[in-house]
Amino acid sequence: METKKHKLSLLENSHAFMAEAASKALAARHNVQQWQFALLNLVQAVELSLKELLRREHHLLIFDNIDSPKNTISIKQALCRIENANILGLIIPEEEKRKIKHAVDIRNKITHFEFEVSEEFAMVKFSEIFAFLVYFQGRFLKVEVEDILPGDLLESVMEIEKCFTELRHKALKRIKEEGLSPDLAWRCLNCGEDTFIVEDGRNICFLCRKTEEVVECPQCGELCFEDDMESFLEDLDTDYDEGRTYIHNNYGYSEFKACPNCIDGIKADIEHQRVNDYYDFMEMQEWHRNR
Ligand SMILES: [Zn+2]
Ligand SMILES: [Zn+2]
């Protein structure tokens, strides 16, 4: 009889554990005990992610003995290999390594039933490691968090205040590391942080990962969120007939949309022109009367 085998790749597995960790963190809002499962799943996801990076370099690198590839390496060994200048030579900041190693210790305590779950402590640890994982997956494995977690799950996790702070910190780190300018980042329409990157046509928030349409304002040529563009069609002299709008006077404008910087000036200009036209008309009337 054929046995059903569902073999996931290291990468898919890391994503499955990450999603499971996130949903356990949400479940912990109603049941504090769930934090330990959130942490267990999360540390597992870290381990798999580190191994995936090594596997991409060479498939034997995930084994502790490459001459006899049976047992796979621990998180601590994986970190060493990733940092080894002869293997990957990546620099993982000391602070980051400390957090990961601490998370490994917590996992060991949990699995040996020595772990008392304090909500605050678990939340802080979860947030630190979760943000690291989002960063690591995106930066080194080239998989962004929106492709790992369903949108509503990510949104809910970001509502955990500590998690939001950690993710924000990592988002700013990535903006710098990818050679983008934090000064040119826009305020995101979704999360309200200055992490929306328009540079290089990316048009994505590095924090909440929401994308937005960015368009050029036809009036000033500056880039602007499409959602922020305003129509001034109704300020023109128009008639609406059988589903069509007829424009009698466009006051010298075309494409009747403008960015927030332009819109007030344009509305004022149209009004100004309208008043002037009216005075011209009155003068003309006067002239005809006096002839
Ligand atoms: Zn955002
Ligand atoms: Zn404009």
Neighbours of 82 (CB within 10 A): 21
Q: How far is the CA of 212 from the centre of ligand 1 (A)?
A: 10
Q: How far is CA 59 from CA 44, 72, 87, in A?
A: 19, 11, 12
pLDDT of residue 1: 47
What is the DSSP code string of 238-260? EEEETTEEEEEE-TT--S-EE-H
Phi and psi at 168, nearest 5°, equal -65, -45
pLDDT band with cut points at 50, 70 and 90 for residue 38:
very high
Nearest Cα residue to 24 out of 100, 130, 105, 96: 130
pLDDT of residue 245: 81
pLDDT band with cut points at 50, 70 and 90 for residue 117:
confident
Q: How far is the CA of 249 from the centre of ligand 1 (A)?
A: 40
pLDDT of residue 5: 59
Task: Provide the pairing of β-strand 204-205 with 196-197.
Answer: antiparallel
Q: How far is the CA of 206 from the centre of ligand 1 (A)?
A: 7
The mean pLDDT of 104-125, rounded to a whole number, is 86
Which-ligand-closest: CA of 192? 1
With both helix axes pointing from N to C terminus, report the angle between 34-57 and 75-83 in degrees, rounded to the nearest 10. Answer: 40
pLDDT band with cut points at 50, 70 and 90 for residue 128:
very high
Q: Are 179 and 163 in contact (CB under 8 A)?
A: no
The mean pLDDT of 227-240, rounded to a whole number, is 91
pLDDT of residue 14: 97
pLDDT of residue 187: 96
The mean pLDDT of 80-106, rounded to a whole number, is 93
Which-ligand-closest: CA of 223? 2
The 10s digit of each residue's pLDDT in 41-82 is 999 999 999 999 999 999 999 999 989 999 999 999 999 999
The mean pLDDT of 32-40, rounded to a whole number, is 93
Spatial separation of the C-alpha atoms in residues 117 and 110, rounded to whole Å: 9
Q: How far is the CA of 263 from the centre of ligand 1 (A)?
A: 25
Q: How far is the CA of 92 from the centre of ligand 1 (A)?
A: 26
204 pLDDT more than 60? yes
The mean pLDDT of 125-133, rounded to a whole number, is 96
pLDDT band with cut points at 50, 70 and 90 for residue 289:
confident
Comparison of pLDDT for 35 and 118, the residue scoring more: 35
Q: How far is the CA of 224 from the centre of ligand 2 (A)?
A: 8
Which-ligand-closest: CA of 210? 1
The mean pLDDT of 268-276, rounded to a whole number, is 94
Q: How far is the CA of 33 from the centre of ligand 1 (A)?
A: 31
Average pLDDT of the chain? 92
20 pLDDT more than 60? yes
Percent of the chain at pLDDT > 70 equals 98
Q: How far is the CA of 175 from the centre of ligand 2 (A)?
A: 26
